[in-house]
Amino acid sequence: MVMKASLQLKLGQSLTMTPQLQQAIRLLQLSTLDLQQEIQQALESNPMLETSEDDDQADTASSDDDNSHEESAAETAADAGSDTNTDWDESENGPDWTSENEIPDNIPDDLPVDTAWDDIYQSAPAPAARNDDENDHDFETRNSPSETLQDHLEWQLNLTPLSERDQAIAHALMDAVDERGYLTSPLDEIHSGLLDENEEDPLELDEVEAVLHRLQHFDPPGVFARDLQECLLIQLNQLPPDTPWLAQARLVITHYINLLGNRDYAQLLRRSRLKEDQLREVLALITGLNPRPGDVIDRAEPDYVIPDVIVRKHNDRWRVELNPEIAPRIRVNASYASLIRRADSSADNTYLRDQLQEAKWFIKSLQSRNETLLKVATRIVEHQQGFLDHGEEAMKPLILSDIAQAVEMHESTISRVTTQKYMHTPRGIFELKYFFSSHVSTDEGGECSSTAIRAMIKKLIAAETPKKPLSDSKIAAMLGEQGIKVARRTVAKYREAMHIPPSNERKRLV
């Protein structure tokens, strides 16, 4: 068999993800905290990158040429920071994006090493140095771990005079308490776990119950209860004896807690032999109790959100700008860049050249992220201007493709930009994805946002009669009277998404 060698030419298209493009995409989808960590890591690993604070603390004995170069770079960075906001005029068709806001298309992939970076591209916009006095708070208060319920109970147990035998029982009971403050294990199981067959004086169940009753006087009131009924009774027993309607509240909790849970007020009135105004006072006392006492102590650490975009209204114009506090100002270190020699191929010179190229691409990717985020946020403000002016009921339907067409980008890019990015508005801080929602048709042929429908449902429920709350069918009918076609199951889905209980659980005796 004879093998023949031949040459063939084929034409084809393929998409190659260059390292620079991968870096730009990765920075685009990072949250604010992740971006800060990425920038800090880049500053630590790349000697060519520096912050403006580093320049402010530079040696005052440097040469005049170096000072003039730093002043020029600082002016360039300041000019770049001034372009990080866009005004949206209600009377205009949209923001006026000029060439200053666009990313230059003619930046070469490999810049000459003897070319100043500031002459080709602006430094990444960021804020001026912050005053450390503004963050001069109590470090221990902000960074110390929060006290848990077990810590709180242990502290009280150490102050309680108990024998070693009772101390062991108390620790076993504390181990069986969950985060709500309830005892999750039956007493007989706890008693069995404490028994010692070799002990001359075996532990009795009554001893466990005696220690339990003593622990039930711990703070917060209601802790160590075995069920909701016992939890409420413990709290009632700790109230002053002269508390109005205390005896009636004990009666209701002891004998009619099931009727109270089902909100069967008619049966509750008949069996308790209380009048309606009396039962109203009793219920006011009961509702003041805490069914989850452990939540008072065992609270999770709050999660703080740093907005990426700030929106404010100034002179009847919505102003959109990047948050200047989200990232430090970085740029290429001119002193290190001047050490690179074009014709030198030594290992040190090659290392500096590679680090300079990576620094330039990192700054370019960071600037591209900021520009894209600002464009997308501006278009969202343009589309959801009614929400900013009038609230959730004025929210318009919006999908990713609408913004993608407006900014001439792919939907996947818009999805990356709007994920874990937050906008600070006069109505609160919202994730950018909050402004996107599906639509429901109206009788007039228009569209209504699902967010606006949720706001309408919440408003109708807030205005309902507590004795006769609105059912999902009734809410759907009321929305239909306003021209919004929505099914009962859709109302139920939106109501559950807002964590609003059904009508039978919203019924109150007022």
pLDDT in tens, 173-195: 999 999 999 999 999 999 888 88
281-339 pLDDT tens trace? 999 999 999 999 998 886 666 677 889 999 998 888 899 999 888 777 888 988 888 88
Residue 271 falls inside a structural domain: yes
Count of domains forming the chain: 2
| CATH code, 493 | 1.10.10.60
Bridge pairing between strands 439-441 and 447-449: antiparallel
State the residue range of the domain holding 461.
437-506
Residues 6+ apart with CB under 8 A from 344: none
User: Is 353 a domain residue?
Assistant: no
The last residue of one of the domains, among 253, 279, 296, is 296
Q: Which two tokens stand for residue 321?
A: 């700008």
Q: Which amino acid is at 107?
A: I
In angstroms, the CA 491 to CA 489 distance is 5
Confidence of residue 430 (pLDDT cuts 50, 70, 90): very high
Tell me the three state secondary structure of residue 276: helix
**pLDDT for the residue 217:** 94
Reported as a pLDDT band with limits 50, 70 and 90, residue 443 is low
Averaging pLDDT over each range in 1-15, 412-426, 433-447, which range is the top one?
Answer: 412-426
Structure tokens at 203: 């532990």
Q: Is 260 within a domain?
A: yes
pLDDT, the chain, mean: 80
| Residue percentage of the chain with pLDDT more than 70 | 76
pLDDT for position 17: 66
**How many contiguous H segments (helices) and E segments (strands) does the chain have?**
24, 9
Assigned domain for 464 exists = yes
Reported as a single tens digit per residue, the pLDDT across 87-114 is 544 444 444 433 333 444 444 455 454 4
Q: Does 183 map to a domain? A: yes
pLDDT band at 376 (very low <50, low <70, confident <90, very high): very high
At 161, is the secondary structure helix, strand, or coil?
A: coil
Q: 454 versus 134: which is more confidently predicted?
A: 454
According to the model, what pLDDT value does residue 2 have? Answer: 65
pLDDT at residue 153 in the model: 92
Residue 362 has φ and ψ, to the nearest 5°, of -65, -45
Could you tell me which residues come within 8 angstroms of residue 283 by beta carbon, excluding any fewer than 6 positions away?
260, 509
What whole-number distance in Å separates Cα of residue 395 and Cα of residue 391? 7
Supply 141's token pair: 């208060």
The pLDDT of residue 114: 47
Average pLDDT over residues 145-167: 88
Burial class (CB in 10 A: 0-12, 13-18, 19+), 22: exposed
Which whole number is the average pLDDT over 343-371? 88
- Domain end, chosen from 296, 324, 358, is at 296
> What pLDDT sits at residue 14?
66
| Region 157-167 average pLDDT | 91
Q: pTM of the entire structure?
A: 0.63
Q: What is the 3-state secondary structure (H, E, C) of 422-443?
A: EEEECCEEEEHHHHCECEEEEC
Provide the pLDDT confidence category of residue 130 given band limits of 50, 70 and 90: very low
Residue 328 inside a domain? The answer is: no
Q: Among the three residues 239, 267, 296, which one is the final residue of a domain in this structure?
A: 296
Cα angle 92-444-469, degrees, rounded to a multiple of 5: 105
The answer to whether residue 323 is domain-embedded is no
pLDDT number for residue 320: 92
Residue pair 47/283 in contact by the 8 Å Cβ criterion: no
Q: How confident is the model at residue 141 (pLDDT cuts 50, 70, 90)?
A: very low
Instruction: Give pLDDT, residue 446.
Output: 67
Question: What pLDDT is stored for residue 264 in this prediction?
Answer: 87
Is 270 part of any domain? yes
Return d(Cα 398, Cα 294) in angstroms, integer: 42
Q: Kindly tell me if the per-residue pLDDT of 65 is higher than 90.
A: no
> Is the pLDDT confidence value at 134 over 50?
no
Residues 319 and 435: their CA atoms lie apart, in Å, by 17
Cα torsion angle, 289, 290, 296, 299, sign: negative
Rg of the chain, C-alpha, whole Å:
33
Least confident of 226-240, 252-266, 326-340: 326-340
- Judge contact between 369 and 24, C-beta under 8 A: yes
